[in-house]
Amino acid sequence: MCNSALAKVIDDNLDDIIQVPDSGAKTRTDFVSDRDFYLYSLRHSCAHLMAAAIKAIYPDAKFGIGPAIENGFYYDIYLDEPISEHDLKPIEKKMKKITSQNLKLAYEDMSSADATAKFASENQDFKTELISDIGAEEVTVFSLGDFSDLCRGPHVAKTSLMKNFKLTSVSAAYWKGDQANTSMQRIYGTVWETREELDAYLKMLESAKERDHRKLGEKIGLFKAMPFAPGSPVMLPNGMVVFREMGNFIRDLFLKNGYQEVRAPIMCHQSLWEKSGHWEKYKEDMFLIEGEKGDQYGLKAMNCPVHMSIFGMRPRSYRELPYRLHDQGALHRNEASGALSGMTRLKMFCQDDSHVFLPLEGVGEEIARILKLTDFVYSTFNMKYKINLSTKPDNALGTDEEWEIAEAALRKALEASGREYLVKEGDGAFYGPKIDFDVEDVLGRSWQVATAQLDFQQPQRFDLKYTDENGEEQMPVVIHNAIFGAIERFLAILIENYNGRFPLWMAPVQARILTISDDFMPWAQEIHEKLLLAGIRAEIDVSGDRLGKKIALAESEKVSSLMVIGQQEFDNKQATLRIFGEEEQLVLGLEDVVAELIKRCKRPDLPKL
């Protein structure tokens, strides 16, 4: 059932609190409710409020862009003297003064020539450049008291509605996101309708700092960001264990359900990318390498063109369909440095990237299978998720008719599943519409991870064919599918959800053996060898520290299973097993303790759907 109803016109009951200029679009297609629209307007307005306060304190400040974002807003500014976190308090104080004045926000339509002259006289070079980029005869100039900005809204009507705000951080940014451009500062903030909502959000941010995967990932030895490889963290031994377990889990699930694993080359000639359409639509986001003959190669940004080539290697029969391929090779995308963030936005990453070649009439059944597989994976990690149907973007390949058929096929599959979904107009891939899955993390934040994309274009461009039951050639369609999405991003979410303490089946260390004194080391080593033979990732704390310190270290490193060896355990050939979160301690003999850990470290059974 579609739950979108996304087109929202400003209702009469919102007219007194939200303003849109006459030249602005009065119909919003990207908000689910009036409240979402109001919060967007509130945050958009608060970005201008912050800019007005900065301008009052720093008259020479130059302003780039200041959009509303999820849960807040930011503004990119340029100053000769950078703003620090310490400087946010005076800016907040000035913002509060402006909100207390209850000023009205106003608009004025102005010719581009007049607006350019106005902002040039105020030394706002970035604004004059934006006017030139817009290329319209008229633009809308927004004003808040003495402060003017280039903006079409929507905004709230008065500053008193913005009182529940907080500035949260400062980071580096580049003008237009290009590191070749001017280096700027990005100041972030949040604003909410009520003080209670603001306090709850700030509390969540504090919890997020404690769980931050970047901090925890380094602390427990999972990965390390290195200056010589921005956007490509070094995976450390503990991290490789978790990464490998995740890869094996999703790989085995796909293989059990009819997929075959392949590996695409890391670098492919430009002719492949031209054929797929990526050279035209995606070249600027790829890493390019010049060949010895002056031609170019692209580091693989996605696997699909290679998978298309695999399908096209030989004649195919309808009896082979659906033909399912799975690939976990590394991908490289030339993300702007300012957009990089820990493990959630990278230049190099791996996907559980899969492609299903099938007749159009089989799409509904295959999407139903993908939905079930996605349910299993997310329930394994106790994740809730929402579904979005993303439709034709502005840069789409193919005809309107092809897109209508593809969108209808996905919509029909979702309707048949009985699941609620939202429609994101214009958010599809350039080659086809898609179903996106947004998971909710332990702090209530939303992350786009899984996707199922229906592609008519690449099968055409690669001239893919199969022979149907009547002996006639037909062209397949392709479903691009990933459940983890970027494995590194999914890992980041898991680190924060579990606060670094993974389920035992995927934990880097599944058992750590602690001795009260070195006298008991021989027995500890015998237990260790037995655990290793049983496939348990076990280690011994060989330090000379006291037991309390060893336990504290294990706790800080998020080790959940400890085996303590003292005099009694040594004499009786036993071990005391302590599991994090359980009050009861198990005193077991060697065979029993090994069996207990094997049971607890068992990976979830994988279904065949």
Measured between alpha carbons, how far is 94 from 381 in angstroms, rounded to an integer?
45
Residues 6+ apart with CB under 8 A from 521: 515, 540, 542
**Backbone angles phi and psi of 296, in degrees to 5:** -120, 150
Start-to-end CA span in the chain (Å): 23
Token match 């008291």: residue?
A: 145
- Cα-Cα-Cα-Cα dihedral sign, residues 234, 487, 343, 299: positive
Q: Please list, residue by residue across 565-582, b when 16 or more beta carbons sit within 10 angstroms of its beta carbon and e when fewer do.
A: bbeebbeeebbbbbbeee
Which of 168, 215, 172 is closest to 189 using CA atoms? 168
- Known catalytic residues are 304, 333, 351, 353, 355, 434, 480
Q: Which two tokens stand for residue 559?
A: 């080790």
Q: Identify which of 436, 255, 434, 430 has the alpha carbon closest to the alpha carbon of residue 352.
A: 255
366-370 own/partner pairs: CB under 8 Å, 24+ apart: 366/322, 366/479, 367/410, 367/413, 367/414, 367/417, 367/435, 367/452, 367/479, 368/413, 368/416, 368/417, 369/257, 369/609, 370/452, 370/479, 370/481, 370/483
Pairing of strands 330-332, 353-358: unpaired
Distance in angstroms (rounded) separating the CA atoms of residues 67 and 75: 7
CA distance 565 to 525: 11
Determine the Cα–Cα distance for residues 291 and 566; give it in Å rounded to an integer: 64
Q: How far apart are CA 533 and CA 511, in angstroms?
A: 13
Amino acid at the residue 43 = R
Coil vs helix vs strand at 83: coil
Q: Which residues have C-beta within 8 Å of that of residue 113, sequence separation ≥ 6?
A: none
Name every residue whose Cβ is closer than 8 Å to that of residue 126 and which is 6 or more positions away in sequence: 62, 63, 64, 65, 78, 175
DSSP 30-75: S-SSHHHHHHHHHHHHHHHHHHHHHHHH-TT-EE----EETTEEEE
Greatest CA separation for the chain? 91
- Nearest-CA neighbor of 47 among 23, 74, 69? 74
| Strand spans (E) along 391-445 | 422-424, 434-440
- 19 exposed, middle or buried (CB, 10 Å; 0-12, 13-18, 19+)? buried
